[in-house]
């Protein structure tokens, strides 16, 4: 086969793995390896200092559960079909297309050379600690409106002082502060929004701690000296200055169907504060005004503060509110009149039985 025909098999966005297998005389394992290696390279290219156990290169990627899950996610097939059963190209599988659970399952295999984990069992995992590496879902480290992260997982050098491989998960029912005492009523005024955006959450910070609750993971016997793997309940809490506010399931919140991103592509505007007021809504300037259900749609004023915005989005979604993400350079007055794919902002604001927060 000449070089020109080989080049034709590889296009900027897809590789025709079925044709590669037949024309390059590759078997199924080779094709799976080609597909899996492109994913691994993409996942690790921004992880400076990350290492892969030599034993991992001996694993037949055709049997990798994370790869099988990724293929099924991007190229749905009838039950029983494999990756070579159709005469068409398979899209390159990128980490951003499959989510954190698949990436964590891949990392676990690369770290140990043996763990073959089902991503479905890692849906709640937001970080892994293995040896001297901390792998963290990037959704925990950026503004919720950031749609173009450089990577799905970020790596940091360090550990949590515990042996084995820890898969960090949030508590099943995170606690949220209540404002029920009569002397706390003054903290939630719910004033009308005047069009001015500012940062009212300068004292907000996120904290990490462990509850000591663990659960061993059943990884099966794979031979060799495997490290212990376990789920570790890990608390991400938000504080405002010295006051504890809530525990957060950030990764779960960012995957919620009630987080509305469709308006992030709206064009910027140059409106003044008066024009920016738009439809009547209230200002939310502290966490009490979030936790006590607002009587009408409200806008969180935490401009430029990604930690506060991330905490606010997670907290509001935990309260079962709908959260509309607003482009930073677009005022509320302009956004409130917009429609994307036939769905208007007004339709969300007018929906009955739902608390709507603009962030």
Q: Would 353 be classed as within a structural domain?
A: yes
**What pLDDT, on the 0 to 100 scale, is given for residue 22?**
58
pLDDT greater than 90 at residue 148 = no
Per the structure block, which two tokens stand in for 47?
Answer: 């992880």
pLDDT greater than 50 at residue 144 = yes
Is pLDDT larger for residue 15 or for residue 183? 15
Name the domain boundary from 98, 128, 143.
Answer: 98
Q: Would 112 be classed as within a structural domain?
A: no
230 pairs with which residues across the strands?
A: 166, 216
**What pLDDT, on the 0 to 100 scale, is given for residue 80?**
47
CB 318 within 8 A of CB 249: yes
Task: Show the domain range for 60.
Answer: 3-98
In this structure, how many other beta carbons lie within 10 angstroms of the beta carbon of residue 198? 13
Q: At what angle do helices 100-112 and 28-44 cross, to 10 degrees?
A: 100
Q: Would 156 be classed as within a structural domain?
A: no
Name the domain boundary from 57, 77, 98.
Answer: 98
pLDDT greater than 70 at residue 88 = no
Among all chains, which residue has been given the structure tokens 């084995």? 164
Both 190 and 89 in one domain: the answer is no
**What pLDDT, on the 0 to 100 scale, is given for residue 278?**
80
pLDDT greater than 60 at residue 113 = yes
What's the CA gap between 333 and 193, in Å, rounded?
11
Both 332 and 209 in one domain: the answer is yes
Both 188 and 78 in one domain: the answer is no
Q: Would 173 be classed as within a structural domain?
A: no
Return the ∠ at Cα 56 (arms to 50 and 60), rounded to 5°. Answer: 140
pTM of the model: 0.87
Both 342 and 220 in one domain: the answer is yes
pLDDT greater than 60 at residue 165 = yes
What's the CA gap between 93 and 272, in Å, rounded?
44
| Contact partners, residue 201, CB within 8 Å, separation at least 6 | 240, 286, 301, 302, 305, 308, 312
What's the CA gap between 243 and 251, in Å, rounded?
23
Both 195 and 94 in one domain: the answer is no
Q: Give the number of domains in the chain.
A: 2
Name the domain boundary from 98, 131, 166.
Answer: 98
Q: Would 302 be classed as within a structural domain?
A: yes
Both 195 and 339 in one domain: the answer is yes
Quick: pLDDT tens for 229-269: 999 999 999 999 999 999 999 999 999 999 999 999 999 99
Q: Would 166 be classed as within a structural domain?
A: no
Average pLDDT estimate for 113-135: 95
Per the structure block, which two tokens stand in for 341?
Answer: 């794919």
Q: Among positive and negative, which fits the CA dihedral 329, 305, 102, 45?
A: positive
pLDDT greater than 50 at residue 114 = yes
Both 86 and 189 in one domain: the answer is no
Q: Would 147 be classed as within a structural domain?
A: no
Q: Would 138 be classed as within a structural domain?
A: no
pLDDT greater than 90 at residue 185 = no
Average pLDDT estimate for 68-79: 73
Both 76 and 213 in one domain: the answer is no
């Amino acid at each position: 086969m000449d070089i020109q025909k080989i080049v034709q098999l590889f296009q900027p966005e897809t590789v025709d793995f079925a044709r590669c297998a037949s024309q390059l005389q590759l078997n199924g394992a080779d094709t799976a390896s080609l597909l899996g290696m492109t994913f691994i390279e993409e996942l690790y290219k921004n992880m400076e200092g990350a290492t892969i156990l030599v034993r991992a290169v001996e694993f037949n990627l055709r049997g990798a559960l994370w790869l099988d899950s990724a293929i099924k996610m991007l190229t749905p097939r009838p039950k029983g079909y494999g990756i070579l059963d159709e005469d068409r190209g398979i899209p390159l599988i990128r980490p951003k297309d499959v989510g954190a659970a698949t990436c964590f399952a891949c990392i676990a295999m690369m770290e140990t050379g043996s763990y073959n984990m089902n991503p479905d069992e890692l849906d709640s995992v937001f970080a892994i600690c293995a040896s001297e590496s901390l792998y963290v879902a990037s959704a925990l480290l950026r503004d919720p409106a950031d749609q173009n992260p450089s990577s799905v997982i970020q790596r940091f050098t360090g550990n949590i002082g515990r042996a084995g491989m820890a898969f960090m998960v949030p508590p099943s029912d995170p606690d949220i502060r209540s404002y029920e005492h009569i002397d706390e009523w003054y903290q939630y005024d719910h004033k009308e929004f005047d069009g001015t955006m500012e940062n009212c959450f300068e004292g907000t910070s996120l904290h990490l701690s462990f509850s000591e609750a663990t659960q061993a993971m059943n990884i099966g016997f794979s031979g060799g000296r495997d490290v212990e793997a376990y789920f570790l309940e890990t608390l991400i809490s938000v504080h405002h200055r010295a006051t504890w506010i809530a525990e957060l399931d950030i990764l779960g919140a960012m995957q919620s169907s009630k987080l509305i991103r469709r308006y992030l592509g709206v064009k910027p505007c140059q409106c003044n504060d008066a024009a920016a007021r738009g439809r009547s809504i209230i200002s939310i300037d502290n966490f009490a005004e979030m936790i006590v259900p607002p009587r009408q749609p409200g806008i969180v004023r935490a401009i430029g503060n990604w930690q506060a915005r991330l905490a606010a989005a997670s907290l509001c979604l935990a309260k079962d509110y709908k959260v509309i993400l607003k482009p930073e350079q677009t005022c509320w007055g302009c956004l409130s009149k917009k429609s994307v794919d036939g769905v208007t902002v007004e339709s969300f604001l007018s929906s009955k039985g739902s608390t709507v927060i603009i962030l």
